[in-house]
Structure 1
């Protein structure tokens, strides 16, 4: 399954909330998320454009592999995500196991995420509003698709983002933005 996503920095959250209400999007419960990214012991994920992450959502835990982004307007990539035992002990043990295998912690990304669901033209969309620590407020418009329906799914994401008044999509991940920010502050 492929993830098709567009991300936007937003300055007027209330305007987006009004648009979401107008289209009939269903709000989910706000989530406290923390992502722990790891570097591969023998492969440079920056060069290969891959990511390995452990995500804590409240007390739930997931491990995710993200493949390289494809060269399109949207961020399209293979994503494999697996849940594992809940709680801080399991999270700590998996982080320790990865480090024992040679993976190195890169950085954490903390955010408050408010998800919205929207069904349109027999396609499910997830729209999220993310308050990212150290970066600001962002919106993501996302759907999942098989390879055969990729063009149609990307067009649907672009169309929905436009309908919500979102423009100037960002392909850089939150991790990438935080690291760029740290590099630019280190150069000062």
Structure 2
């Protein structure tokens, strides 16, 4: 799957929620996410622009755990990249396996995320521990689909919501790494 994603720093969750409501976006779910990021023993993911994480999500009483690999970004305007994700049962054991074969824990990123749906967009308002508020808009595509049209539509939606700057191509992990080095 190709994930076409753009994120922007926002001033206020309330302001954006009101704008999303006005255009007809629907709240879909709210969850807590904990992402444990790892670096490879073979290549430095910070240099190759890849990511490997274990994500634990909690929504009400439901917990889900996923391993996600994100490939290098494939354009200069967004975070468009290949993504492979797989559900697992035990984050701690998976983390132990990764560490036993040489992967190193980099950082844990925690956030509360409110999801919205609008047409074929997934929109999230992200309250990340240690960072200011952000909003992400994404569309998932098949590997063979052209991402440039999807990317343009995402930027058009941002503009419709009154957001024309504050865009960020770096991940929350990278933003936290810069902040706390």
Give the TM-score, by structure 1 length.
0.90
Aligned-pair CA distance for 1:12 = 2.1
Distance 1:91 1:8 in 2: 29
Question: Deviation per CA, 1:29-55, whole angstroms, max 9, x where unpaired?
Answer: 210100000010111111111000000
Distance 2:95 2:164 in 1: 37
User: 2:161 — aligned with what?
Assistant: 164
Distance 1:108 1:167 in 2: 30
Of residues 152, 166, 169, the one that matches 1:155 is: 152
User: 1:7 — aligned with what?
Assistant: 7
Give the TM-score, by structure 2 length.
0.93
Q: Is the 8 A contact 1:4 1:77 kept in 2?
A: yes
Which has a greater percent of helix? 1
User: 1:186 — aligned with what?
Assistant: none
Q: Is the 8 A contact 1:16 1:165 kept in 2?
A: no
User: 2:136 — aligned with what?
Assistant: 140
SS across alignment from 2:147: helix
Distance 2:34 2:126 in 1: 12
Of residues 52, 75, 83, the one that matches 2:87 is: 83
Query: Which deviates further from its counterpart, 20-29 or 173-182?
Result: 20-29
User: 1:55 — aligned with what?
Assistant: 55
Distance 1:72 1:37 in 2: 23
Question: Deviation per CA, 1:139-159, whole angstroms, max 9, x where unpaired?
Answer: 001111234331111111111
Aligned-pair CA distance for 1:72 = 2.4
Q: Give the RMSD, CA atoms, in angstroms.
A: 1.1
Moved over 6 A (4+): none
Structure 2: which 5+ residue stretches go unaligned?
none
Structure 1: which 5+ residue stretches go unaligned?
184-188
Q: Count how many residue pairs are aligned between Structure 1 and Structure 2.
A: 175
Aligned-pair CA distance for 1:57 = 0.1
